[in-house]
Homo-oligomer: A and B are copies of this chain.
Amino acid sequence: MRQYEIAVIPGDGIGKEVVPAATDVLDAIAEVHGGISFKYTSFPWSCDYYEQHGKMMPDDGLRTLQNFEAIFLGAVGDPQRVPDHVSLWGLLIKIRREFEQVINIRPAKYFRGLASPLLKPNDFDLLVVRENSEGEYSEIGGRIHKGADEIAIQNAVFTRKGTERAIRYAFELAQKRRGHVTSATKSNGIVYSMPFWDEVFKDVSKEYPDVKTTATHIDALSAFFVTKPHVFDVVVASNLFGDILTDIGAAIMGSIGIAPAANINLNGKFPSMFEPVHGSAPDIAGQGIANPIGQIWTAKMMLDHLGHQEMGQHLLNVVEDVTHSGVKTGDIGGTATTQEVTQEILKRLKR
């Protein structure tokens, strides 16, 4: 029996409701397939924690997390109480950065039983590889002067290493999928970072002559995610562009409540982190109506990452079956509670 040590951070709002649902499901699938189990250690780091301790996690928080094989996170943030740049940069983004989770991957696909807002959802199945360590999200910049004269400058930093790494990761994935990588660019308007990104993309693509490539400006690409998502296989994007594209990806599936994400550490020195795309949704927290599918699909990504693709696929099939059967939460047109959806998934998993 292989037991995985998982650090669990439910975080804020609905994170506290969907994380327990997803760990129940993880336990069930491990039991059904056998051979593995999970040992969870839960950490209360969140905006609640911040209000008590003046920080989002203890000073040795990262050291504590480092010993785990993966981090399973719910959602962070509650802007009414703690400014986002404090809560997110003190926990979510801090872990991404300090644990060198340099790649963020997020799938979007036609999901059985979900009403896509698109007229013809067309069976799309794409994967966005997002550079997760630098780019437009750089804590470099500042402000000068006051009042009418004030100026804010924000630096975006793109390194060859960081850019190449994300692009190469995309090509590797494409080779195992349908062999096509689309690069999100904006070199016609953003004239230093994006032409650099394009060059690196061109260089790396030479190493993968079997992979088809396309470069598309982020404005057009965002539109194509709506008008023809089926043409995409793997899409590689900078931190900001990946952020935007993956929310559109979630939207065309039918709900941001179902989209999963993985923050991947590549050098093996730190754990990877798995978190859904949705936020903490303080407006519906505590009502038991949050959609657990985002967190459960995120559990599937963790299973894949730990080498259990078969279990991952089984889990996703069951979740699609349940959605297809109509047992779903309000955000995707059903009337079920978080618990009812979870119980239905557990029941079908054990069949």
User: Interface residues, chain A, CB within 8 Å of chain B?
Assistant: 77, 84-85, 88-89, 93, 115-120, 136-137, 139-143, 147-161, 186-197, 218-220, 222-224, 226-227, 239-240, 243-244, 246-248, 250-252, 256
Contact = CB atoms under 8 A, between A and B. Distances in A.
A159 B151 contact: yes
A24 B191 CA distance: 37
A173 B149 CA distance: 25
Given A159-B150, A196-B150, A219 B247 contact: yes
A189 B256 CA distance: 18
22 contacts: A85-B187, A85-B188, A88-B189, A93-B189, A115-B119, A118-B119, A119-B119, A136-B190, A137-B189, A139-B191, A149-B160, A150-B159, A152-B157, A153-B158, A154-B192, A155-B155, A218-B244, A219-B243, A219-B246, A220-B247, A224-B251, A248-B248
A246 B219 CA distance: 8
Contacts of A136: 189-190
A-B pairs with lowest CB-CB distance, top 4 = A141-B192, A84-B188, A223-B251, A152-B196
B156 A160 contact: no
A70 to B, nearest CB: 23
A149 to B, nearest CB: 7
Contact of A119 (B93, B117, B157, B248): B117
Contact of A137 (B88, B120, B160, B190): B190
Given A84-B187, A117-B120, A250-B223, A193 B244 contact: no
Contacts of A187: 84-85
B190 A154 contact: yes
A274 B79 CA distance: 40
Nearest to A121: B119
A171 to B, nearest CB: 17
Contacts of A218: 243-244
